[in-house]
Amino acid sequence: MQLRSTILEEAALNENPQDLLRVYARISWRDLVALTKPRIIALLLLTTLVPMFLAGPSAPSGWLILWVMLGGFLAAGGANAFNQYLDRDIDHVMVRTRLRPLPSKRMQPGQVLVFSLLLSAASFVVLWLGANLLTALLSTAGIVYYVWIYTHLLKRSSTQNIVIGGAAGAIPPLVGWAAVSNEVSLLPIFMFLIVFYWTPPHFWALALMRQKEYRAAGVPMLPVVAGEKETHRQIVLYSVLLLLICTMPVFLGLLGPLYLLLSLALNGVFLWQAVDILRRPANANIWRLYKFSLLYLALLFLSMGIDSLVYAIPETAANFVLRLP
Q: Which residues of the chain have pLDDT under 70?
A: 1-26
CA neighbours within 13 Å on the CB side: how many for 275? 7
Please name the residues in contact with 277: beta carbons below 8 A apart, sequence gap of 6 or more.
Answer: 205, 232, 235, 236, 285, 286, 289
| Cα angle for residues 239, 168, 81 (degrees, 5° grid) | 125
The pLDDT of residue 274 is 98
Q: How far apart are CA 299 and CA 288, in angstroms?
A: 16
Contact 259, 303 (CB under 8 A): yes
Cα–Cα distance measured from residue 166 to residue 150, given in angstroms and rounded to the nearest whole number = 8
User: Given this model, what pLDDT does residue 28 score?
Assistant: 87
In whole angstroms, how large is the CA radius of gyration of the chain?
21
State the Cα–Cα distance between residues 115 and 262, nearest whole angstrom: 41
C-alpha of 143 from chain center: 10
- Count CB-CB contacts under 10 A for residue 279: 9
Contact between 20 and 11 (Cβ < 8 Å): yes
Residue 67 confidence (pLDDT): 98
Domains and CATH numbers, the chain: 23-182 (1.10.357.140), 183-325 (1.20.120)
CB atoms within 10 A of CB 256: 19
Residue 36: partners with Cβ closer than 8 Å, 6 or more residues away: 73, 76, 77, 78, 80, 81, 119
What's the CA gap between 289 and 9, in Å, rounded? 44
Given this model, what pLDDT does residue 142 score? 97
- What is the overall mean pLDDT for the chain? 92
* Alpha carbon 250 to chain centroid, angstroms: 25
In the DSSP assignment, the letter for residue 92 is T
The Cβ-side half-sphere exposure at 123, using a 13 Å CA radius, reads 29
Nearest to 33 by CA among 87, 84, 68: 84
Please state the separation of Cα 175 from the chain's center in Å: 12
Tell me, what's the pLDDT at 23? 53
Over residues 242-295, the pLDDT tens digits come to 999 999 999 999 999 999 999 999 999 999 999 999 999 999 999 999 999 999
Contacts with 144 (C-beta within 8 Å, 6 or more apart), sequence order:
none
Q: Are 67 and 126 in contact (CB under 8 A)?
A: yes
- Dmax (CA) for the chain in angstroms is 67
pLDDT tens, residue by residue, 267-282: 999 999 999 999 999 9
Residue 22: per-residue pLDDT: 54
Q: What pTM did the predictor assign?
A: 0.91
d(CA 235, CA 222): 11
Count Cα atoms within 13 angstroms, Cβ side, for 196: 18
